[in-house]
Amino acid sequence: MIISSIQQYRVDLGARAYDIHIESGCLPEIGIKLTSLFGKASRCLIVSNDVVAPLYLDIVRSSLEAQGWAVAVYLMPDGEQFKNIEQWSKIMDALMATKLSRHEPVIALGGGVVGDMTGFAASCYRRGIPFVQIPTTVLAQVDSSVGGKTAINHPHGKNMIGAFYQPKLVWIDPLVLNTLEQRQVPAGLAEVIKYGLIRDKDFFLWLSQHMQELLALDDDIISQAILRSCAHKAEVVMADETEQGQRALLNLGHTFGHAIESMTHYTTYLHGEAVALGTMMATRLSEQLGFAAKGTEQHVVQIFKAANLPTEIPQFTADAWLDAMGHDKKNIGSLIRYVLLRDIGDAFIAEDVTDKDIRALIASFAP
């Protein structure tokens, strides 16, 4: 086994600052790290799901118990459809039963759903307790575990109920990705590609050149991709923690993607797959409105195809699209904001896109 060098990035948010630690093989060291971070062993709650727990729960629990931590566990079902108020309430019940103090942590061991829900529960329990992210999917390692967006879904829209609440630590072991269902890897890479599209053309080209190694989870290449993605995410978050301005650029593809997830009831596409489809729609819209040069969409479609991501836009009426996007949390009043491209590596927020523009876009995907 090749253990890559330790990579660390500091998210500097003053009193809310924390480290992103990336190191292949670091999972069994989490107990030592948490004891150092909190000064002493105490009580904690691990939240995971029924897919991740059989693989990694014993490693994390044993590491913590070896340092003297008293560990409680709550397991939730796996899947975006369980990112709801019922499961959030059960996490709160587990926190109540564990009786954690305001200084004892809850640990999210899993993908984006586990991380988002655990973070939101942590923000609410006793008006806020520490939480630690141990992300186990590509998407969570490169995106959702960093930045403090925590939420649950509502039938009317994705992530509509939540809070900005930063973790105390993000502990990333790329080796855990080797047990992922293969479909999860491309879904995570969709968020990696996003960083190249919105702010780093050189990174986009690097990803294009190394896509096969990324899909194969080559340890060195995937570790580099994780670090560069986390650094991009952290830089944006440090400049705009609560999404008053440029952080909204991270939502490239998400307005359309969230609508796709909502209209398909969170059962057809993984989040990253929906984001890829949404990004293709945003790129075509950028071309149709004259912001991006012809051929930009072709480059985007090519890299998503190379990443084994879906490229066929699902068919819904324009009214259904507009209704689903109207519930997006990124909107300002009745105004829908779209993240569009001028070029690869150059994104901007457009607030003057009309319903007519969207209807023309939807019509352009008709068979």
Catalytic residue list: 127, 149, 191, 233, 243, 247, 251, 254, 258, 271
φ/ψ of residue 331, rounded to 5: -70, 155
φ/ψ of residue 299, rounded to 5: -65, -40
Tokens of 61: 């629990």
Q: How far is CA 175 from the centre of its chain?
A: 18
DSSP 13: -
Residue matched to tokens 């909190």: 38
Instruction: In whole angstroms, give the CA distance from residue 208 to residue 302.
Output: 9
How many Cβ atoms are within 10 Å of 95's Cβ, its own excluded?
A: 23
What value, to the nearest 5°, has the Cα angle with vertex 295 and ends 294 and 298? 140
* Sign of the four-CA dihedral 238, 122, 114, 279: negative
Instruction: In whole angstroms, give the CA distance from residue 343 to residue 350.
Output: 14
How many Cβ atoms are within 10 Å of 182's Cβ, its own excluded?
A: 9
Q: H or E segment at 151?
A: strand 149-154
DSSP 316: -
97-132 burial, b at 16+ Cβ within 10 Å, e below that, comes to: ebebeeebbbbbbbbbbbbbbbbbbbbbbeeebbbb
Residue matched to tokens 């440029």: 246
Nearest Cα to Cα of residue 140 among 117, 106, 164: 117
Residue matched to tokens 């053309």: 201
In a 10 Å sphere around its CB, with 0-12 CB exposed, 13-18 middle and 19+ buried, how is residue 238 labelled? middle
The radius of gyration of the chain from alpha carbons, rounded to an integer in Å, stands at 20
